[in-house]
Amino acid sequence: MISIGGENLIDLVSTKNDKNGLPRYIANPGGSPFNVAIAAGRQGQRTSYLTPVSEDALGCLIAERLIESSVTLAAPRVHFPTSLAVVSVTEGIPSYAFHRNATAERQVSLQGLERTMATDTSLFHVGSLGLIDGNDAIAWESFFEKCHNQGIVTSLDPNVRPGLITERKKYSERIRRMMQHADIFKLSDEDLAWLYPDKTLEDALRDCRADFGDGLFILTMGGDGSLLFFEKIEVSIAAPNTNNLADTIGAGDTYMATILCWLMESGLISHSDFSKIDKTALENVGLMAGKAAAINCQRSGCNPPWREELLNI
């Protein structure tokens, strides 16, 4: 089982203006960890989503998308409202404004997570907004460390949202602490630049890898492809050509899910199993993850491919 934690919300994505010049919006279920969950479920892995989902009408959209993507809702539904993200897309690149005070996805506690996570979980992934601040961030960090200490493979993707971070030092310190308990760490070049400011990409990458350690480290760079590192192995993957780009919403999450699914399918579900990772395996999974992300980018919003689509590439 892959268990996944972190925010769920509704993306209100801007489309063309109406005849009065006012923007139109399409409501899409979203949130980085939510996207990872549906992408993993669609690729055929047993996937459980730990974060509470609202009982309101928007929460029903979120729950339906998870269920139709073969994801199990582990937590009970709650009465709190659904978080919102207003998404403006310019030349395919999204920008976000979030509204998530006292919402359903923030109703997280360490005790609740311990009750709801399946006992057969082999891999736990978390990231993004839930790690920024508040009691939920404290709970996610504590639970992440506990999972790692229990021998569960741990995966972290900060997916930094600078506009929501009011205490930069406190947030950065939390991410660095969690890196010490992560077996898999993925971030984008934009995340890297924010977490390691005033450095060249090369220096920031070197310092970040040193802080992380010897696990599986992944840097995504949009149209410039991705870099994968494991111990002394380094792999550079070119971005696939993407025809008919719709937007890049959920591309990194689809990439992340493909990595997690590969680990499960390859039987790399313990710390000791990672010793089996070699350069060829990293090249193959990097290519597959890039192709999955490219398929997603040809569709509006986060709409990851199903397993059959990937197998038919």
SS3 of residue 49 by DSSP: strand
SS3 of residue 158 by DSSP: coil
Distance, in Å, from the CA atom of 197 to the CA atom of 200, rounded to the nearest integer, reads 8
Give me the pLDDT at residue 147, please.
98
Q: Which two tokens stand for residue 191?
A: 């995340």
Q: Which two tokens stand for residue 280?
A: 């060829």
Choose among 146, 154, 8: nearest CA to 71.
Answer: 8
pLDDT in tens, the chain (313 residues): 999 999 999 988 877 777 787 878 888 899 999 999 999 999 999 999 999 999 999 999 999 999 999 999 999 999 999 999 887 777 767 777 889 999 999 999 999 999 999 999 999 999 999 999 999 999 999 999 999 999 999 999 999 999 899 999 999 999 999 999 999 999 999 999 999 999 999 999 999 999 999 899 999 998 899 999 999 999 999 988 877 888 788 899 999 999 999 999 999 998 889 999 999 999 999 999 999 999 998 887 789 999 999 888 6
* H-run or E-run covering 10: strand 9-17
Name the residue type at position 307: R
Give me the pLDDT at residue 313, please.
67
Distance, in Å, from the CA atom of 11 to the CA atom of 14, rounded to the nearest integer, reads 9
Distance, in Å, from the CA atom of 129 to the CA atom of 96, rounded to the nearest integer, reads 12
Do 32 and 96 contact (CB within 8 A), yes or no? no
Give me the pLDDT at residue 92, please.
66
Choose among 111, 146, 144: nearest CA to 128.
Answer: 144
SS3 of residue 268 by DSSP: coil
Q: Which pTM does this prediction carry?
A: 0.93
Q: Classify domain 2-311 at the CATH topology level.
A: UDP-N-acetylmuramoyl-L-alanine:D-glutamate ligase (3.40.1190)
Do 132 and 140 contact (CB within 8 A), yes or no? no
Number of residues in the chain: 313
Do 7 and 100 contact (CB within 8 A), yes or no? yes
SS3 of residue 199 by DSSP: coil
Give me the pLDDT at residue 214, please.
87
